[in-house]
Structure 1
């Protein structure tokens, strides 16, 4: 312990026989405690503390009674064996004094479906109030931290940002609100740890029954942001009233009023439509005959052509674009051979396809309408009309592709704000607010969007096939795929990168051809852009938004 805090303590005790070494030893023996499941981590921690506090001629402080090895969550030897850890026994003096003043941690993020045994799962369910069907150990660690902290003690944890809103953790959020007061939430956008592919939040709270509703929230997009003081204050009084106790830190009072207005005018999407997951082609031990690890690796039911009558065009998430399908050419043999084939009826009916991985505001959701039979995997969500009403689906796809629904998605759903793989999930989609009224103008614009996006796709692909045939280009760059957005100079540079060099005669001919084809494509694109704007305005009107509320959606208020 060094720096300002140490200097303060030394200054306060300048008339006493207080030296740095004694202060450090006192802190090590009486103030710092820790537990880890990994014996090696325990030894590394001890070594690190010794290196920081070692003084020549002074005996190293024994840390055996402070830094211990064990399973922090399980005290039953029949479940954890020798790693079972009884906090009351191991830290008896601290527990008998009322508990720890401060508990901090970066708990492991382990789902029940990953490395948790059945015996451990049963123990957690019996021992922890916040344990729910989909157990994740970080949830249990937070509850344990509250249990170990004395009244008015402080707790700080860095955990996945799913803590904030995801439904399967609603029990923990309720437990926190009932047993403590949340002081600070720091949302860390992007990847915090190399080995953990999740986005995280730092949550700091106090174990108290005192009700305080203002939570300090800080958004961190780059490391330097963590030191600034640009907090916003969120009123958390409504969190307890929410059935799922979501920690809504993405909204302000204006947002909340608009969200409430929308809720009162609408019904959940699932009241009008069926929402279905796609199939899962491969999983060891599933399917008939049961799939082997080699099957999962080699994918024997995937084809680049139609193998037989049970083989169908197959879509992955990235085959779905706004208002369009860009099929990659994959086929899949359908039947009991697949791990989870789903009902074939899902794939042959008119439906909306929604890519699971979303984009950034103002057009987050990526949706289109199809009538053709396609198989699709779980990276695509399916929305079906119960009466197979194509117009009903076309109106819905226009609403889902609108700026208003993108705004709603950003403000309400747990996984929308991620920098790493933001996504829409079935549970959230089913709750989207939908107006149960037919709007012919929106349906007409949806038809136009489907038609013009198909026309644009055809024009762009025709041009690319021509240059591929002419110049034998094997793979197009991303810029070449969007050739109509380039000027001639940049287009020629992309050709040169593909090792294509034009003669003067060729260049004269190709400049004229390029500009003419670009003009045709961009005229279609202008119609698409204008129709997109028209749909936004019609959706605002359908949902009854005032001019001021529209500005809120666009982020201008």
Structure 2
């Protein structure tokens, strides 16, 4: 069986390679056709706007592509295009009846729109807008040879077997750069290759295996949940109808009907739909699901398989997309048409479902004509809330006594009474709920035995909102006061509220001009007795994380301390006078009951009360069931035109945040209360700019899956660090989600995500500062390490290396004697583990202000150069080679030959630990050579050699990989702010002594290793001066002699027999020596690791966690 491992994946990869080759060839032909048509249109139609002609070129090609696909899929007569060309040739050459070839195609386009019945063939009216009359396309002229040549070329492809509809997405992606070139040329603008539309709009075509995975885990998950809810079990349908009761058959059939009805009401959105990759995948999934229903029904009822025709319903009811790019919207429509077109059936009109607009901005002042109001554009998805003002009152347990309680001889227990501390705790909790759930509270107060809330919401929301407030405040108050934790309240039904007259027992009635007292202050009925332990607590999807109790119902038992009555009073406020009275009544309620005002509560109310205008702002309910997609990746510096708008509208706003982060928040706003979300985007788990989106997701949604692709490349031609996030639009209810890491070794055209290990990660234990995806035990280990002091605590700051802003001018090969203005320097890529080899570069350094300090503060640039050329001719002449670039530097001193101001140059010349910012394994070296370091490499000034051993241990690497941002190829970015968080325990002198000895030994061995390596390389270069150093030759010790000889032969180097004999002996001797040193270093590193584990007090299980991860 093991021989078969990976075969399906290899087949997929082979298929993808073939598809890629066809895509490239087809796109090349398509691109030439488009270019030829556009140039011809411009020539033949000079009076028409060029931009408009360009857009019409795109539409014309869409028409041709549809016909090409349709004729090969038998939706149209076979070879329609070549037949049109053939007929035109016959008319022109044999019958002397010339008409332009484009006119023949226009006639055919008309058939596609209206239909045609002929003697030889019929054409059905497929139009869904694509072939509708178009004033421009109907009146332009195109040269015959353009149409003739290119239509025949494109006709040669097999659009049934070789060309998949998905190819349109690839074609569109390839088109973007060319489209922008043409548009810029039209406007007379220059093209910046760094700001092409593909880069600026952040558009990357998503591979099919990614769209499939996301659709299966969102749309598919909802379908699975619905089938489980309806109890649809396939095996029950396989049994058929024979020997089964009619009622059972009817019930099983009814389940399928209900499931299909549910499917047809499922709404799926891609808010950045591009060319429609996700929408097509969702369409495929839904079609398959309907086919399963047909199959189950056939198995149940017997007879032949009858396939329902539901593609029209799916396109019109289930699939929605929006994109900023007009061309992509048209491609998305075209791909959906091609996937669903059937012979003899009109194309769906997709304008109501697939729209062009700015998904993030609804203000025309910012987005112009692309401003997009979701609620107006999709009124079938969203409905405006019908809000009312409610005066709600709820009383404390046992504070009221009802007639029914009296009649039933219920013994009244001790009433709950809130003191000042209780009142503050409850108000703080109400504030948290109000902010978290965006409640519209106009006024609020709490007295000894009751609470007033003036709330604006829909009537159907009221019971749930009040139920949650009562339940959560009870839990928090009891927990903080040390009482037995309350079980809260079951979700209240409408029967659990009291609509009451404007009077209350125990208090003087209000006049008609006064606001009503809620029935919460009225006597309670028997139904208001404490809840029994068997009743369910409020689940409340939006309970804040900090408020969720981990205790189970069984643990709580019957010992709960009840806080509130079960029921609450509600009165609708009907007019302005009534509202004003209600506000005043609630605000003054403590005074009315002769209770002192509480300053803390007055201040807390300011944080969550809102104005009437805010409360009655337009709010909508509803939303999509699923939002999926690949949002554009656009860096913050390109968002300047809308930065203020984004800051005002999105809580995830960050000045450095990428555009995709706003798509996250917008998507959850567009989802319904429990909808599913699936995105592939750039990672943000550890970036500084990602803190706001991390905080938002952790607080607002339930993450279900997190797929980490940061070590592999998903999008061709783009360096990205992608992740897939699957989430549900509800507050945290389940603690853990599935984390899957795709390692670099899995790089492939198709990556089998399910093949990789799943790590359960506790969402509640992640920190907004950075996300670490570890098991609970691993998280506990990190927390244990963090109990120690940090590098920053013990050693102070670390520092970036020198920033020249023009390395080619200031960093040169080793040429001069070291002195005041010449220093040895390492670049980050030269730094090795333990100790760096001898520096081969030098830094020319004239410190900021040095010129004026030494030559006088009035000296001019020319005068200074004259002096420098006398005193330091070689140095200044080197810089003068780059004079223009040096002058343009932002970071420089008073003169362009000076470096930027730096207060710690002296620290480079002292003992220090140095390290590159990008590392794929520990690379910390001890340096006392006085060498400088080039940024972004970092130094830590210290005399403690033993610290180098700690930093190069497996444990510290484990800690860093949990903290640092991951970059391409599995590298982590060890920035100063991360390095300074490394924990350092208090060490005994004995530990320091042992580590110092090991550090000295390993530095000595590393230096010895470097000498062997350098000696061999020098001999090789001296024997063969013309030899170019390749990666393999540089790492000669990893080769066998045969491979070493082969590498030399590539550069025409051949040994004589006598030379070869000597080289074999020498090569093998040096290889043995090198490998022996490497083995010695590995043994010393193992000793260090064990000492470090002991130093930090790790258990055997904790050591296994570290060893298993590095």
Task: Give the TM-score normalised by structure 2.
Answer: 0.44
Does structure 1 conserve the Cα–Cα contact (< 8 Å) formed by 2:961 and 2:972?
A: no
Q: Secondary structure at the match of 1:102?
A: strand
Q: Find the partner of 1:304 among 782, 807, 813.
A: 813
Match of 1:435 in 2: 985
**What displacement does 1:191 show?**
0.7
**What displacement does 1:210 show?**
5.6
Match of 2:645 in 1: 123
Higher gyration radius (CA): 2
Taking a change above 3 Å as real, the CA distance of residues 92 and 526 of structure 1, as seen in their structure-2 partners, is same
Taking a change above 3 Å as real, the CA distance of residues 347 and 51 of structure 1, as seen in their structure-2 partners, is same
Q: Find the partner of 1:8 among 244, 268, 292.
A: 292
Question: Any unmatched runs of 5+ in structure 1?
Answer: 283-295
Matched, 1:168 2:653: no
Q: Deviations over 1:448-471 (max 9, x none)?
A: 222322222123212221222123
Does structure 1 conserve the Cα–Cα contact (< 8 Å) formed by 2:680 and 2:724?
A: yes
Q: Deviations over 1:412-437 (max 9, x none)?
A: 43427x53543322322121112243
Q: Deviations over 1:282-319 (max 9, x none)?
A: 3xxxxxxxxxxxxx7x9444433447953443432210
Match of 1:205 in 2: 727
Does structure 1 conserve the Cα–Cα contact (< 8 Å) formed by 2:760 and 2:775?
A: no
Match of 1:102 in 2: 626
Matched, 1:506 2:1059: yes
**What displacement does 1:48 show?**
1.1
CA distance in 1, matches of 2:370, 2:702: 32
CA distance in 1, matches of 2:759, 2:809: 53
Match of 1:41 in 2: 328
Matched, 1:56 2:353: no
Q: Find the partner of 1:237 among 764, 779, 783.
A: 764
Q: Secondary structure at the match of 1:396?
A: helix
**What displacement does 1:183 show?**
1.4
Determine which structure has the larger helix proportion and give its number.
Answer: 2
Match of 2:199 in 1: none
Q: Secondary structure at the match of 2:734?
A: coil
Aligned length: 521
Q: Find the partner of 2:947 among 384, 387, 396.
A: 396
Q: 1 or 2 for the larger relative contact order (CA 8 Å, sep ≥6)?
A: 1
What pairs with 1:17-416 in structure 2 (closer than 5 Å)?
A: 23-96=310-383, 98-113=622-637, 115-117=638-640, 119-162=641-684, 164-188=685-709, 189-209=711-731, 211-220=733-742, 221=746, 222=748, 223-228=750-755, 231-239=758-766, 242=767, 244=769, 246-249=770-773, 251-264=774-787, 266-273=788-795, 274-282=797-805, 299-306=808-815, 310-326=821-837, 329-334=840-845, 335=847, 339-340=890-891, 341=900, 343=902, 344-359=905-920, 364-385=921-942, 390=943, 392=944, 394-415=945-966
**What displacement does 1:473 show?**
4.7
Taking a change above 3 Å as real, the CA distance of residues 74 and 277 of structure 1, as seen in their structure-2 partners, is farther
What pairs with 1:415-494 in structure 2 (closer than 5 Å)?
A: 415=966, 419=969, 421-437=971-987, 439-494=992-1047
Taking a change above 3 Å as real, the CA distance of residues 513 and 197 of structure 1, as seen in their structure-2 partners, is closer
Q: Secondary structure at the match of 1:92?
A: coil
Does structure 2 conserve the Cα–Cα contact (< 8 Å) formed by 1:186 and 1:217?
A: yes
CA distance in 2, matches of 1:12, 1:491: 65
CA distance in 2, matches of 1:229, 1:451: 41
Question: Any unmatched runs of 5+ in structure 2?
Answer: 1-282, 384-620, 849-885, 892-899
**What displacement does 1:129 show?**
0.8
Which stretch shows the higher mean deviation, 301-310 or 371-380? Answer: 301-310
Does structure 2 conserve the Cα–Cα contact (< 8 Å) formed by 1:191 and 1:420?
A: no
CA distance in 2, matches of 1:445, 1:550: 21
**What displacement does 1:40 show?**
1.0
Which stretch shows the higher mean deviation, 501-510 or 126-135? Answer: 501-510
Q: Deviations over 1:260-302 (max 9, x none)?
A: 32222x21222223122234433xxxxxxxxxxxxx7x94444
Taking a change above 3 Å as real, the CA distance of residues 77 and 460 of structure 1, as seen in their structure-2 partners, is same
Which stretch shows the higher mean deviation, 473-482 or 126-135? Answer: 473-482
Q: Secondary structure at the match of 2:752?
A: helix
CA distance in 1, matches of 2:756, 2:1076: 48
CA distance in 1, matches of 2:756, 2:1101: 30
Q: Deviations over 1:60-93 (max 9, x none)?
A: 2222222122221122222222222222222233
CA distance in 1, matches of 2:307, 2:354: 22
Does structure 2 conserve the Cα–Cα contact (< 8 Å) formed by 1:324 and 1:450?
A: yes
CA distance in 2, matches of 1:92, 1:327: 71
Does structure 2 conserve the Cα–Cα contact (< 8 Å) formed by 1:21 and 1:55?
A: no
Match of 1:292 in 2: none
**What displacement does 1:486 show?**
4.3
Q: Secondary structure at the match of 1:555?
A: helix
Does structure 1 conserve the Cα–Cα contact (< 8 Å) formed by 2:778 and 2:1105?
A: yes
Determine which structure has the larger strand proportion and give its number.
Answer: 1
CA distance in 1, matches of 2:1014, 2:956: 30
RMSD: 3.0
Q: Deviations over 1:396-424 (max 9, x none)?
A: 221111111112223343427x5354332
Does structure 2 conserve the Cα–Cα contact (< 8 Å) formed by 1:121 and 1:135?
A: no
Does structure 2 conserve the Cα–Cα contact (< 8 Å) formed by 1:104 and 1:155?
A: yes
Which stretch shows the higher mean deviation, 40-49 or 337-346? Answer: 337-346
Match of 2:463 in 1: none
Taking a change above 3 Å as real, the CA distance of residues 116 and 481 of structure 1, as seen in their structure-2 partners, is same
Q: Secondary structure at the match of 2:381?
A: helix
Taking a change above 3 Å as real, the CA distance of residues 303 and 381 of structure 1, as seen in their structure-2 partners, is same
